[in-house]
Structures are given as structure tokens and as C-alpha cells.
Structure 1
Amino acid sequence: MTAIEKGQARLVLAPEVGGAIAAFTVAGRDVLRPMADGAGDALFTSSFPLVPFCNRIPNGRFTFEGREVVLPPNLAGHPHTLHGQGWRAAWTIEKVTDGEAVLSYTHAPDAWPWAYRAEQRFVLSETGLRTELSVTNTSDAPMPAGLGFHPYFPRREGEALTAANDGVWLIDADVLPTIHHPGPWEADWAAGAPVEGHGLIDHCYTGWNQRAVLRAPGQPDTIVTASAECRWLHVYVPPGEAYYCVEPCASRPNPFGDGETGMVTLAPGESRSIWMKVQTR
């Protein structure tokens, strides 16, 4: 574990667990869900990076520029490969200074046949955290790339989420997108809606304006903002759990499916980056 501080803000990193955040507090309050004691899986951390794609690829199979790729499952009991390689790998600490840290991950070609280097830069302010995630294609052939963040937030009593959007991708039993539903569905996040009182929400919302507000009575707001590339917002609200996720993403689930998915092609040596801020007020 590695910790950095800035005033009352404190960030703890777990580079060995998918380059994840283990805790982020301001004035002793958990802004992100703290990592479970002894956890060795990024799913039980505070936040982890999605690189070089977001969410599920059906059965791990896709074709890119005539090349057939088959990725192994990376979640027990689930056939659809999730979130890339970064969250299942140890990262290297490159820099730790007052209020700032840099982690890196170098991927050698395997089932994902491209070499790349990913980097995370964390910068604390007195009341917030800015995280930048980048990926550079270090192979000798064009590589597809998508990026995202997977933060977990404590589910506070009476909490509501407000996030502009123009529709949502509905999902099947395997949590894969099926059809795009325009307008509100289940919870009208655009108008502001309670987090409690729904069935499973594990959906990708379109038309997001890169700002979300998490508000609970009598407590500071948590504000999530992101770079313009993060045009999709994935919201995960598991019934009965003490947390939920509000995930800025630059690509959508089934990133090699039909239509505009947000995936870009990086030439050898080319990079892509996004950022997210988590602020309290």
C-alpha cells in the first residue's frame, strides 16, 4: 500500500491489486468505498482502471482489422471478458510526492496481441482527487483502445444521483447491451433519483455531460466530473449492497459491437488519455 496526503485529503493506493485505489477520504470521511481488509481482487477496492476497454466483450471474441482475437474469461463463472488487462495485473509505482503519485502497467502481447503501456496519475487537492488514465500503443501494429474508471461509492441513507443523459442501453441476462432505450428507464437520473428502491441496475447511459452529483441529506455532496471523451456513464446499483458505482467511460459495453462504441484505433506510438475528478463540497 502507498499513501499520499494533501491537507485533509488522503489517498491510499494498492498497486499490486490492479493498480487500484484502496481508500480516499476527506476530513476522515470515506468519499470512496474503502477496500475490504485483505482483499486481493480489484472488485473489492475503492476504484480501479479500465484499460484498454470497458465492460464486456461477448465470449471474449472480436475481429479487428481482419485479425480474429479470443480473450480468456477473467471473472469466475462469467464467459464474457471484462475491463481489459490492467485491473487483473500488478502496477509499478513510478512516482510518489506530496499529494501526487504515478503508477504504470506494461502489457506484453498475449491473447490481447498488442503491447501497450498504461499509466495512472493521481493528484490530490484539499477536497478532491483527479485521476488521469492513459494508454500508449507500444506494438508495431494499430491497436484498438477504450478507457474508463470504476469507482465505488458508499451508499448513504437517502442518497440521490443526478446525471444528465438521453437514454440507456438495456441489457440481457448476461448484462450485455441489447437495444438503446431513449429517455428515462427505471430511475430518472437526469432529473435526480433515489439510489434505493430499484432492481439491479448495471446499465450504460448515453448523452452524459461529464458531471454527476451524489447527494445525501445532511452530508457533503460528492461531485464526479470527467473529460469530454467520457461520453458514457455506467451505473451499477446492486440491490441490498452498501455501495454503488458511477463510472465515467470513453467506450461502452460490447466495445466491438455495432454502431458508435467509443473505441479508437491507436497507431504504433500513439496514446489516448482521459481523466476523472471526485470532489466533495
Structure 2
Amino acid sequence: MSPEFTLTAGGYTAVVTAQAAALRVLQFEGRDLVVPFAEGGPIPDYRGIIAAPWPNRIADGKYTFDGVTHQLAVNEPERGTALHGLAFPLEWTMKEHDAGSVTLTCTVGPTPGYPFVLEVAARYVLDDAGLHSSVTAVNAADAPAPYGVCPHPYLVAGPSPLDEWILDAPVATFLEVTPDRLLPIRLAPVEGHEFDFRSPRAIGATEIDHAFTDVAFDGGLARVSLRDPAGTGVGMSWDESYTWLQIHTADKPAPIPSRIGLAVEPMTCPPDAFNSGTDLIRLEPGATHTASWSIYAL
């Protein structure tokens, strides 16, 4: 069984697993703020993982970087893509742990399709204001490396159905995608579209599995809030390293439980950025990249 680490502070409890450095549990005064998963088992739907060195999908698992074409394993065969990076299957190593914090590390690569080497650290800290997290990647090799990252929590506002949750998301543009493979087509404004949640309103029956950009930052942070009409809620904020946001209403075919949480995934780059180059981070030898986010009760 993979080790896990429990953090407590200010009415909050978090459990982080060594597998994937995943956030397995986050509660405030006993109330779930994220969809949890069972101890010791597989991680369903990539819940709580760190997606690195790319978030979302790479079409056909194939990309060209600095003139060299690479072929990754296709781990989403139904869509023919390489999904959510290479860090999630790994058992991360605990470097520091106390009552309110944990730091986990792993080495990504070299591996077929990604002949680069990154040293990656994920840090989780709990305090009275919630859970504060960051991922730092260092290029440990002698050649530039393509890089992107995102966290993958499924937020829970409260006991009401997701359709009744009230979403406030400060994003003005969304990425249209192919219906079969969820690969990029074009950017479109949310103005006048069912994806416009710039003013708080109920999600309703809207199905979302899209990336958004033109994120509004205030004082260096962007903030999403998700509120239950019963009076509870959850918020997430992130820094300007993340200029994209994936939102997913977790729709599943029967009899699988559907729409049990809202995936809110700040991303440094959009889907298939290894091919498009859009906001792709070029991590030079010895260079470091850090991106941070927080989750808190409302």
C-alpha cells in the first residue's frame, strides 16, 4: 500500500498519497471539499493528482520539440491521446512532513517519448486559511525540456446535486474541442454562451469538459467559487503561472455515478500544447518553474 500523509490545521484535514502526490482527502470541519477516493486503491479519474510534465492531452501521443519527433505511450486509447503526463503513475518520495505540511518529490524521465529529466517537488501546507500547494520543476539535464503542469482536484460545494451548485469562474474565453477526442479547434468568447460563469449562477444541466483562458487576476490571484444553495461552499485560487483553466462536470454514463464533483484544474498551457506550442514552457537546463494554488472552505 502506498504511504500517505495526514495534515491538520485550523479545522482542516488533508490526506496526500505518495502515489502521484495526490490529494486524497480535503475536509473542513468534517465536510468534504474535494471528492475523495479510497485508501490504498487505484486513483479514479485522476482525482487530486499532479499532472506533469504536461496537463490534459497530447494528440496521438506524438509531438516535435527542437526538430526531434517523439512518441509517447497512448494511455487514453478511446481518444488516441497521451493524458495527464508522466508523474501520476510514480511513487513520490517524502522529503519533509510535519503536522501541517508535506513535501514529496519524484524524477520524471528519461522515458520513451520524453528523453528529458525533471526533478519535481510538490508541497502541501495547511493553515487556518485552507490548503496551499505548489509544484516546482527543475530541469536536471543538459538540454531544454518541454513542460506544463496542473493540479486535478474535483471540488465539492455541499450536499446538493452539482446542477444546483453556483459557479463563479473569472474566464472570458473557452477552447472549442472536437467532440470525439476533446482536441483543440479554436478559441471562442464565453459571452452569450452557456459556459459564461463570470457572474455567479447555477451550473444546471450544462456539460463541460473544456479549457478556458483570458483569466481575470486580482492582486496576482485568480479565484473560482462554488457554492451550494444549502449554504456551504468551496473556493480555489491560483497564481499567474496558470493562464488556463480546465473545468469538467464529471459526466459519466450510467450506472457509473455521474456529476459527483466539479474538476477545477488551473493549467500552465492548453490541451495539446506540446504540438501547438501555445504557452508551452521551455525549461532550460538548470532552470526552475514553480506554480501555486490554494483550496479553502466558503
For normalisation by structure 2, the TM-score amounts to 0.88
Residue 193 of structure 1 pairs with residue 210 of structure 2: no
Matches within 5 A, 1:52-71: 52-71=53-72
Q: Please give the residue correspondences for 1:259-278 in structure 2 after superposition, counting only pairs within 5 Å.
A: 261-278=278-295
Question: Which residue of 1 is the match for residue 211 of structure 2?
Answer: 204
Mapped to 2, the partners of 1:99 and 1:243 lie a distance apart of 25
Q: Find the residue that maps to 1:256 and give its secondary structure.
A: helix
Q: Deviations over 1:152-210 (max 9, x none)?
A: 11364221111111211011110111111123332321122322312x31100111122
Q: 1:159 aligns with which of 138, 162, 165?
A: 165
The CA distance in 1 between the partners of 2:175 and 2:110, in whole Å, is 32
Runs of 4+ in structure 1 off by over 6 angstroms are none
Rounded to whole Å, the distance in 1 between the matches of 2:46 and 2:289 is 27
Cα distance in 2, alignment partners of residues 54 and 108 from structure 1: 16
- Tell me which residue corresponds to 2:234: 222
1:181 and 2:188 matched: yes
Unaligned runs of 5+ in 2: 217-221, 252-257
CA deviations on 1:236-270 (whole Å, 9 max, x unpaired) are 01333211201111111111243x62211111111
Whole-angstrom CA distance in 1 between matches of 2:86 and 2:182 = 20
Show structure 1 runs of 5+ residues with no match: none
Residue 241 of structure 1 is matched in structure 2 by 259
Residue 9 of structure 1 aligns with an amino acid whose one-letter code is Y
What corresponds to 1:79 in structure 2? 80
TM-score with structure 1 setting the length: 0.93
Is the 2:177–2:210 Cα contact (8 Å) retained in structure 1? yes
> Between the two proteins, what is the percent identity of the paired residues?
25
Q: 1:264 to 1:44 in 2, by over 3 A?
A: closer
- Report the count of equivalent residues: 277
Change (3 A) 1:22 1:245: same
Given candidates 128, 131, 134, the residue that maps to 1:129 is 131
2: distance between equivalents of 1:90 and 1:279?
27
| Secondary structure of the corresponding residue to residue 229 of structure 1 | coil
Distance in 1 (alpha carbons) for counterparts of 2:77 and 2:21: 20
Distance 1:97 1:174, change over 3 A: same
Amino acid of the structure 1 residue aligned with 2:103: V
Q: Work out which of the residue numbers 186, 207, 231 in structure 1 matches 2:243.
A: 231
* Alpha-carbon contact 1:42-1:87 (below 8 Å) kept: no
The equivalent position to 1:12 in structure 2, one of 10, 15, 32, is 15
Residue matched to 1:32: 34
What is the CA distance between 1:141 and its match in structure 2? 0.5
The offset of 1:44, in angstroms, is 5.5
Q: In 1, are the aligned partners of 2:24 and 2:37 still within 8 Å (CA)?
A: yes
* Counterpart amino acid of residue 140 in structure 2: T
CA distance in 2, matches of 1:36, 1:153: 16
